[in-house]
Amino acid sequence: MQGTFGQVVKCSKISNSEPVMIKMFKKDPQYILAAQTEVNILNKLKRQDSEKSHMVKWYQAFEDRAFTCLLFEHMESSLLDRMKERHPDGLDLKTIRFIIKQVALALYYGKYKNIIHGDLKLENVLLVNHTAQPWTVKLFGFSQAHEVSEAHPGRSIQRCLPYRSPEITLGLPYDGAVDVWSLGCITAALYVGEHLYPGKSPYEMLKYMTQTQGQLPDTMLNEGLDTNRFFLRDDSTGSWKLKLADPSHHEDFQETDLPLKDNGTKVLSSLQDFLKLKPLDSQSRVDEEDEIGDRRMFVGLLESMLQLDAAKRLTPHKVVQHEFLRM
């Protein structure tokens, strides 16, 4: 498994043949810093109960020739791999409910420690053992994680564009709400099997967002360090409009990790479109009403996690308490 900063390999301990995972960082400046960052964060999280916090258990760090290595408990595969191999058209709401509650709990424990994950994506949500514990997952990949006190506008996080929050793209102050945005993007992808906003540049991401969710608030655009890259301001009214052409140049970000389907991705006019993206699977009128109600709660959760204004997004604790996840 190849990550942003390191390669993950599966192996066994010589002493007892216990299966484990090792994340390997090359010893050059960029990767050394990422390894140090991850170790610092993992040390802060080490006392958390891995089963309750839904974070992959970390054992130790060690050096091996040209690599810094981090030793973790063995995990089966990522949600990304599982979706590509077995569920290209998405999952049912019951399964999504179970997965999202676990990831939200991981974010809740991280928030308790004042830690922002900063790289939440399908690739970093790992299945424990799908045969023995179907859809039980844990959070992984803390190379971009940092404390809330270290968050500052312009910091390079959320490098995988389909999960990048608008405040990061615009260069705004941010907090743990960026992880809730990413969780919303994961939730949408689990339902339809492709990304909600599969932009190939920051500009495309903003264009998708505004087409589906409307114009970003002027309060955000007025303060963004990078607003002028993507928006033009009307001096007479003080309002902003998205530029007609993509001004983006090469950046250090990852390509979308879910392949587009043959017919491409339909840009939604509203998140309410999720209510009708899939045919109903009910056998009776009562079942149909229940399924429609379930979808409405699902869309309500999506809308609450994908609020353009970070101050209006649910906290991880509120996500866990949402009616859709409490059913």
Active site residues: 119
d(CA 54, CA 139): 6
CA distances to 91, 133, 249 from 229, rounded to whole Å, are 37, 47, 10
Instruction: Spell out the SS3 assignment of 193-207.
Output: CCCCCCCCCHHHHHH
d(CA 241, CA 232): 5
- Total length of the chain: 327
d(CA 296, CA 197): 21
What are the tokens at 246?
């993509």
d(CA 188, CA 197): 10
